[in-house]
A and B are shown apart, each in its own frame.
Chain A
Amino acid sequence: MASQVDALYIYLLLVSGVMTALIFLSVLVLAIKYRRAPGHRARQIEGSTVLEITWSIIPLFVMMTFFVWGAVIYFQERTPPADATEVYVVAKQWMWKIEHVEGQREINELHVPIGQNVKLIMTSQDVIHSFFIPAFRIKQDVLPGRYTTLWFKATKPGRYHLFCAEYCGTNHSGMGGDIVVMEPQDYAQWMAGGPSAPLQETGKQLFTQLGCATCHRFDVQGRGPNLTGIYNKPVLLEDGRTVIADENYVRESILNPTAKIVSGFKPVMPTFQGIVSDEQLNALVAYVKSSSQPPPGTAGLQNQPATSPAQPQKMQVQ
């Protein structure tokens, strides 16, 4: 399908190129040939109805070829085959939540096998987004309150950009990801298996991928608390309680964020219940435990943990 779109585009480029060249050259040649010169007067020509009709009808016919070819492609794009496997997509500010029918869940990534018709059934939790895969030449707006669909069949393995293409607020340009197209056997393996990178490394990737970094920043105050070195430290809550930020606290904060709101923050964190698997939760906790190294240029921490094996190197001791 993508190659059909490209073929149509090249056809239009050629026709447009010819038209543009025609007009540019005509203007250039006429402007030079009939430049102002003493003794030469302009000749008043009223017009020519024949010419007018000709240069209205011929472009109209040419344009009809554009229309028909474009409409055929569009019809195919908007008519998913009956045998397509379905994948559910939920868009929200600012991430893509993908749920394979087999149960696999992904955030901002969509793994698909080659040669398989895939149909996306999409809705939005909030504002209008748009699911755009440039490499496949397809795009579909994702609306709240209803489903829209998109289908494709990937033919070459690889990683392809996924972009949000309908402006949706602060992190519209960060709401991207990848379509990961795999050979069928690799895809089957992916479906069955889990992550293979170091846990906190996976966690670090997840932290960015899941959009945690949008609000939990390490340099300036974001919408959420700075997570630098919070592990095993006391945390003051909105309701006046103080709790220790241990593994359970971190895990609960991800799955049920409104249970304990940190003092001075609003309850805007979305829940990741059902989004992150247990392995992913563990990876995130590991990452938060390890992230006690502030980036250069930021202030160090005032309070030191009493005993913690993973002492950060750059903390300022007071």
Chain B
Amino acid sequence: MARTVIPANQAPAPSPKLNYLNNGHSLKSWLLTTDHKRIAILYLISVTVFFFLGGFFAMLIRLELLTPQGDLMQADTYNKVFTMHGMIMVFFFLIPVVPAVLGNFLVPIMIGAKDLAFPRINLLSWYLYIIGGLLISHVMLTGGVDTGWTFYSPFSTEYTNTKIVEAGIAVFIAGFSSIFTGLNFIVTIHRMRAPGLTWDRLPLFIWANYATSLIMILGTPVVAITIVLVAVERLFHLGIFDPRLGGDPLLFQHLFWFYSHPAVYIMVLPSMGVVSELIACFARKRIFGYKFVAMSSVALAVFGFLVWAHHMFVAGISLYAAMIFSFLSFSVGVPSAVKVFNWTSTLYKGSISYATPMLYAFGFIGLFTMGGLTGLMLATLGIDVHVTDTYFVVAHFHYIMVGGVLMGYLGGLHFWWPKITGRMYPEAWAKLSALLVYVGFNLTFFPQFILGYVGMPRRYWQYPPEFQALNVLSTAGASILAAGYLLPMIYFVWSLRYGAIADANPWAAAGLEWKTTSPPPTFNFDETPVVTWEAYNYDEIPHKERRVPVAR
């Protein structure tokens, strides 16, 4: 079979001793870096801290819910615990994680650029994230917030006496971190692609991050102004959402969900991009229906803005508005389904390996399918009236967020770990963790679908005794899940010192990032690559038979 000649200057360079990790060891060289790869590492560390903080609160929730009575903590404390769990997980983990960690690291390299368009703004993004994070931590340490992460008015504006304004400022600042990241990605992808890298040659991970960035810049400012209005209402008694002043609490919900629904696509789209990369590599095939998968990302971004009031079917909106939003919510299911079908079709006549990243990709497909189908149930008006505000919804979004987003992230982290660190993780332990995560996850959240349908409302500190058995199952699952998350913490850190040294392309994968060293040099490429091939040119990439890369 004819091979396209890959120019010599595009082959992996002989690994120099100097790479982005050891190019400067001082704290200042890290904290004042403008290197997108170092910023990605800074995000990796901070995002992981918040993940475990949010996870700690989740553990408290599950422990309390072991028994029907509220006996582990007071009701007010529990309300703060689930609020902080939600706020931290949504704003400080799920929204930034894939774009800020994997996106920051890979977007410039994947398009053959030396860095993002605005490296200093990238650093600013991280600092904004940290400032927001410090503020929210301060809120937690000085009493917490008890409104739920959705901080509905008038409870949040008039009735609670917790630190809404400070928490709002924290989220506002973190929101700008998100906006600047999105802005950076869009400009980078538009203006800094390597010669020959046309839009239809872009990796699907880039398409996914591009669509995500569109949502980030269009949606986030709306929640920002919503937070401002809540804050001024609390501070200066300006009654925007106050019914006693002729205001409308429903207006808050519209403004809030106008962002917060697209926000879930900010969370899931980049992870879907990861899954595309994983399946292509571990089936050694171009993704089936590349164009449709790319377009579906953009479709999700656009349609995602049209469905927000499906969170408000019983909130008091008009009958006809509810019908319109229900109809539109079904249409947004089509692009997601298209992706799942295309990924599955890619497996046909592939050459499939079961490396850990691929296991996570399989997990994503299965669990996202279940999460998405239950989303359709929620879009169905007659059913939503019954199950909204119950554990059914909680289960649905955890299937997408944890079964989807988090699995995609973990898969990506494993896949690109050798590129980021120059080391391989231990495969056996990684497979075990993936299994624990999968089993633990299903045991935690599947019972919650049932709990919701039989009537257990959400945000409940205590519940009728007949709900206990399912709650106990769920908590048991959570302990397994926790183990599945702790293990990678340990072995990833272990691998930094003891992992097998990785070469430039341990997976024999396609993509520009695999044409530079592991870890890459500070400026990514010695010479800007000139792209003359299509994405996922796996028929041209020789596959190595050995499983573990040879040390340098």
Contact = CB atoms under 8 A, between A and B. Distances in A.
Within the complex, are A and B direct neighbours (CB within 8 Å)? Answer: yes
B348 interface: yes
A60 to B, nearest CB: 6
Contacts of A141: 314-316
A168 B319 contact: no
B334 A59 contact: yes
B498 interface: no
Contacts of A63: 330, 333-334, 376
Interface in A1-59: 4-5, 8-9, 12, 15-16, 19-20, 23-24, 26-27, 30-31, 34-38, 40-48, 51-52, 55-56, 59
Contact of A170 (B79, B341, B352, B383): B79
A35 B464 CA distance: 49
Interface in B510-552: 538-539, 545
A38 B327 contact: no
Q: Which of A31, A77, A140, A168 has the most CB of B within 10 A?
A: A31
Given A16-B376, A59-B337, A132 B389 contact: yes
A284 B376 CA distance: 50
A73 B376 contact: no
Contacts of A15: 373
B24 to A, nearest CB: 41
Contacts of A137: 385-386
A24 B340 CA distance: 11
A27 B345 CA distance: 9
A9 B392 CA distance: 13
A164 B243 contact: no
Interface residues of A, number: 81
A59 B372 CA distance: 13
Contacts of A47: 288-292, 342
A23 B338 CA distance: 12
Nearest to B328: A67
Contacts of B290: 46-47
Given A70-B379, A70-B383, 17 more contacts: A23-B366, A34-B349, A42-B283, A45-B348, A59-B333, A59-B334, A60-B331, A74-B322, A127-B154, A139-B388, A140-B316, A146-B243, A148-B316, A167-B152, A167-B155, A167-B459, A170-B79
23 contacts: A8-B382, A27-B344, A27-B366, A30-B352, A31-B354, A34-B348, A46-B286, A47-B291, A60-B330, A63-B333, A63-B334, A67-B327, A72-B382, A73-B381, A74-B381, A93-B159, A127-B152, A127-B159, A130-B314, A132-B457, A139-B389, A143-B316, A168-B155
Interface of A: 4-5, 8-9, 12, 15-16, 19-20, 23-24, 26-27, 30-31, 34-38, 40-48, 51-52, 55-56, 59-60, 63-64, 66-67, 69-75, 77-79, 93, 126-128, 130, 132, 134-135, 137-141, 143-146, 148, 161, 163-174, 176
